[in-house]
Chains A and B, each alone.
Chain A
Amino acid sequence: MLLREVAYAKPESLAEALEILAADDGARALAGGQTLINVMKARAGSPDTLVDLSGLDDLKGIELGADGTLELGAMTTYSEIIASSEARARPILGEVCAQIADVQVRNRGTIGGNACTNDPTNHLPPLLAALGARFTIAGRGGEQTVPAEEFFLGVYLTAVGTGELLTKITIPAGRNDGFAAVTLGVDGTCVVSAAASLNGSARLALGCVDAVPVVLSPSSTDPDAVRQAVRDTALDPPSDVHASSDYRRHLAEVLAVRAIEQAQRS
């Protein structure tokens, strides 16, 4: 498919990237391109300028702090997370990244791209929300760090504004996590997903049932309590060819229990 004409910049520094993004409101960041290139083919989006982030070393790499905190550069690919010994400090990360699409997509797709796309069917937004991840956004005026609740704002919409970039995702220490999803084929996009984290208090995040991950804190990990906590959120998920609203509500309860059970075993 021939894309619409587009300008292309490959900045060598974060400052240069932010400058280009701020100068042109039709500019879009190009991370792994595993969503954006297809969006451009379909003309669902037609940026005037692509700002290729692959030359920005500041956005790459995985660091494990002495206290177990993980810092992942936004341009870190799924394959790099899967292969990283540091990322194994939070094993669920590599485990879920290995469930995204296929080898080729995992080799190019990035954690930052997945989060910034905030497609409700993506695996990582609910997972990152459950893990208590924090998102660092850089703009020309400086940087700010926000929790998931303030990062995911709507379908395809995050707190990263025009002229800004997500630079890194910070994940606190912990090991007792779980993820469960009903997907379109093995490793396909999610119909409904649930992520759980039992580090300290129980924290659940449900995906594909609302515009953003629905975060809740069940009073206990007992399956009935978990189901009740999901019911108490009064979900009103969309209906589509893959699942009716009622079926998604049902799946949310089932998958929440499964995610909690995995977190208890891990």
Chain B
Amino acid sequence: MATSAVPTERAISVTVNGTTYDREVEARKLLIHFLRDDLDLTGSHIGCDTGNCGACSVIVDGTLVKSCMLLAVQADGARVETVEGLAAGDELSKLQQAFTAHHALQCGYCTPGMLMSATALLRANPSPSDDEIRKALQGNICRCTGYWNIFEAVKAAAE
């Protein structure tokens, strides 16, 4: 156990999809657990919990990260975007609509992470090449192996 005077809990303030949450969290809590368990934002998924699958991908201060490899306390003061924030009310984002139109989801487990990775890509690079799309999705695994339609959806949203 920790023996130093350094605390194992910390008060944090995190803005998720525009709403600011002030919470006391244990330092050991991963950001994905904070989002899912504390804030009840269950759109971001836990697939592998080893940093490989990307189902937990969210955008923190404009940067795409895997939220299973970040502690919630590390997101103190940050602006976090999750899949719940992509749609404007009932209006799905252009990318989400492209996922529907191109059957880019089968079981849907990887979809939140795929959407966040593709959202980060299209913000930084609105007209990506085919290779840039593939490289941008490299950190996201689809257990249905439905990569082709996901690629097509991102490509359609980019055009």
A105 vs B74: C-alpha distance in the bound complex, in angstroms? 15
A187 vs B134: C-alpha distance in the bound complex, in angstroms? 13
Answer whether residue A241 sits at the interface, using C-beta atoms and an 8 A cutoff.
no
Taking a contact as CB atoms under 8 Å apart, the answer to whether B10 and A8 are in contact is yes
Nearest chain B CB to A96 CB, angstrom units:
15
Taking a contact as CB atoms under 8 Å apart, the answer to whether A4 and B28 are in contact is yes
Known A7-B6, A48-B2; judge A105-B66 contact (CB<8 A).
yes
Taking a contact as CB atoms under 8 Å apart, the answer to whether B65 and A108 are in contact is yes
Main secondary structure of the interface of A (DSSP, over half): mixed
Answer whether residue B136 sits at the interface, using C-beta atoms and an 8 A cutoff.
yes
Taking a contact as CB atoms under 8 Å apart, the answer to whether A108 and B70 are in contact is yes
User: Which listed residue, B51, B64, B73, B138, touches A34 by the CB 8 Å rule?
Assistant: B51
Answer whether residue B54 sits at the interface, using C-beta atoms and an 8 A cutoff.
yes
A6 vs B28: C-alpha distance in the bound complex, in angstroms? 6
Nearest chain B CB to A5 CB, angstrom units:
5
Nearest chain B CB to A241 CB, angstrom units:
17
A176 vs B52: C-alpha distance in the bound complex, in angstroms? 34
Known A37-B70, A38-B69, A103-B120; judge A27-B8 contact (CB<8 A).
no
What chain A residues lie within 8 Å of B2 (beta carbons)? 5-7, 26, 48-49
Contact with A along B58-69 (1 / 0, CB 8 A): 000001111011
Taking a contact as CB atoms under 8 Å apart, the answer to whether A103 and B64 are in contact is yes
Answer whether residue B71 sits at the interface, using C-beta atoms and an 8 A cutoff.
yes
Nearest chain A CB to B87 CB, angstrom units:
22
Answer whether residue B145 sits at the interface, using C-beta atoms and an 8 A cutoff.
no
Answer whether residue A262 sits at the interface, using C-beta atoms and an 8 A cutoff.
no
Taking a contact as CB atoms under 8 Å apart, the answer to whether A104 and B50 are in contact is no
What chain B residues lie within 8 Å of A38 (beta carbons)? 50-51, 69
Taking a contact as CB atoms under 8 Å apart, the answer to whether A2 and B28 are in contact is yes
Answer whether residue A1 sits at the interface, using C-beta atoms and an 8 A cutoff.
yes
Answer whether residue B43 sits at the interface, using C-beta atoms and an 8 A cutoff.
no
Give how many A residues have a beta carbon under 8 Å from the other chain's beta carbons: 36
Interface residues on B, range: 35 or more
Known A33-B70, A186-B138; judge A105-B51 contact (CB<8 A).
yes
Measured CB to CB, the nearest residue on chain A to B10 is A8
Taking a contact as CB atoms under 8 Å apart, the answer to whether A8 and B139 are in contact is no
Answer whether residue B7 sits at the interface, using C-beta atoms and an 8 A cutoff.
yes
What chain B residues lie within 8 Å of A26 (beta carbons)? 2-4
Nearest chain A CB to B1 CB, angstrom units:
6
What chain B residues lie within 8 Å of A6 (beta carbons)? 2, 8, 27-28
What chain B residues lie within 8 Å of A81 (beta carbons)? none
Contact with B along A84-125 (1 / 0, CB 8 A): 000000000000000001111101100000000000000000
Answer whether residue A44 sits at the interface, using C-beta atoms and an 8 A cutoff.
no
Known A48-B1, A102-B54, A102-B138; judge A33-B69 contact (CB<8 A).
yes
Contact with B along A1-16 (1 / 0, CB 8 A): 1111111111000000
Known A3-B30, A48-B2; judge A107-B65 contact (CB<8 A).
yes
A76 vs B2: C-alpha distance in the bound complex, in angstroms? 29
Answer whether residue A234 sits at the interface, using C-beta atoms and an 8 A cutoff.
no
User: Which listed residue, A9, A37, A102, A103, touches B6 by the CB 8 Å rule?
Assistant: A9
Answer whether residue A63 sits at the interface, using C-beta atoms and an 8 A cutoff.
no
Q: Mind listing 19 A-B residue pairs with CB under 8 Å?
A: A1-B30, A4-B28, A5-B26, A8-B7, A20-B6, A23-B4, A26-B2, A37-B68, A37-B71, A48-B4, A49-B2, A49-B6, A50-B27, A101-B139, A103-B64, A103-B120, A103-B121, A104-B64, A187-B138
Task: Report A's interface with B, CB cutoff 8 A.
Answer: 1-10, 20, 23-24, 26-27, 30, 33-34, 37-38, 41, 48-50, 52, 54, 79, 101-105, 107-108, 186-187
